[in-house]
Amino acid sequence: MSQAIPKTAKQWRITGYDGLDALKFTEEAIPILSDNQVLVQIQGASLNFRDIIIPLGKYPFSQKPNVVPGSDGAGTVLAVGKSVTRFKPGDKVVTILNQRHLAGSIDARSADSGLGASIDGTLRSIGAFDEQGLAKLLKRLGADYIINYQETPNWGEVAKALTGGIGVHLVVEVAGVLTMKQSVASLKLDGIMSVVGFVGGEGNGADAPNLLDPWLKHYTARGISVGSRQQMEDMCLAIEANLEKLRPIIDSRVFKLDQLKEAYKYLQAGENLGKVCIDTE
C-alpha cells in the first residue's frame, strides 16, 4: 500500500562546531528527488559517539557545514527516482555509514561520503538518500565472561587468563590509546587488534603501543572504518538467520526527534545501557 508523501520534513542541522547548541531543529520542504535518489520515511535512528563529537568540533574526518546529523537509521521507501532499480515504495531499508562504500576496501571517495557528516543524515523524519547508500533490511546476548574495566584495570591479562593463557583471536579496540596496552595484553600470538575509536579519551602518544610492538609481540593492528554495503547486506542475512540468538541491545529510554539534544546529553553522560534510539516519526 503506497503512503501519502508529506510536503515537509522535520530535521536537525549542525550549524556550527561550538557545542550541542549548534544543533538546530527545522522543518523544511522535501526536495524533489533526482533520478538516483530514494525518499525514505525514517522510522528510527540511533546515536553514536561520532554524532556527539561532530558538533563539538572534534570529528577527525570530512564534514560539510549545516549537515543533517545521524548515520544510523531504518525506514520505509516512499518514492524512488526514475533510474532506481534496487528499491520500490514499501521496501524496508537501512542506511550504511559511508554512502559510496559499496564493496571491497574503502577508498578516498568512499571515505568522503560519511552519512551525518559529509552527507545529510538520518536525524529527520523523511529524507532523500542516494540509491547506493541504502541496503535492504531483512528482519530484524549472551557473553560467556564479563570483565568490568573499572574494577579490573588489568583486564587484558585477565581476559587472556580466561582462555587458559592462550589469548584472544580478535580484540575490537573502541576506547583508544588509553586502553590499547590492555587490548594487546589480551591477544594470542598472531592475534588481531582492530582499532575503531577513542571513546575512552584522546590520551597521548606515550600511552599507546608503538609501531614496533606488533612485530615484537607478534600481532596485527589495523584500523577499521565501518563496512561496505555488501558487508551490511551480509550482516542483515546473518542476523535474519539467527534471530533467536541475536537481540539488539537498546536502551529502555527512546527519545522523540524533538528531544535530540536531551538524547545527546544522555549518551554523552554514559547513562545509556545499549543503543540510544530516536523515534523519528
Ligand X SMILES: NC(=O)c1ccc[n+]([C@@H]2O[C@H](COP(=O)([O-])OP(=O)(O)OC[C@H]3O[C@@H](n4cnc5c(N)ncnc54)[C@H](OP(=O)(O)O)[C@@H]3O)[C@@H](O)[C@H]2O)c1
The residue within the footprint of ligand X, chosen from 22, 33, 106, 175 (CB under 6 A), is 175
Which of 56, 196, 236, 250 is close enough to bind ligand X by CB under 6 A?
196
Residues 73-100 as b or e (16 or more Cβ within 10 Å = b): bbbbbbbbbeebeebeeebebbbbbbbb
**Is residue 226 at the binding interface for ligand X, with CB under 6 A as the rule?**
yes
Rounded to the nearest whole angstrom, what is the least distance from the CB of residue 249 to ligand X in the complex? 9
> Judged by CB under 6 A, does residue 235 bind ligand X?
no
What 3-state class would DSSP assign to 238?
Answer: helix
Distance from C-alpha of 244 to C-alpha of 221, rounded to nearest angstrom: 33
Nearest by Cα to 84 from 117, 133, 44, 42 = 133
The contact mask relative to ligand X for 135-154 (x = CB under 6 A, - = no) is --------------x-----
Q: Convert residues 59-98 into a mask of x (bound to ligand X by CB under 6 A) and - (unbound).
A: ----------------------------------------
Among 170, 224, 237, 241, binds ligand X (CB under 6 A): 224
Cα atoms in the 13 Å half-sphere on the side-chain side of 222:
9
Pairing of strands 275-279, 250-256: parallel
Count Cα atoms within 13 angstroms, Cβ side, for 73: 33
Q: Which stretch binds ligand X (CB under 6 A): 35-43, 121-129, 175-183, 235-243?
A: 175-183
Is residue 185 at the binding interface for ligand X, with CB under 6 A as the rule? no
Q: Take residue 160 and report the three cell numbers written for it.
A: 587472556
Chain contacts with ligand X (rule: CB under 6 A):
48-50, 149, 174-175, 178-179, 196-200, 224-226, 270
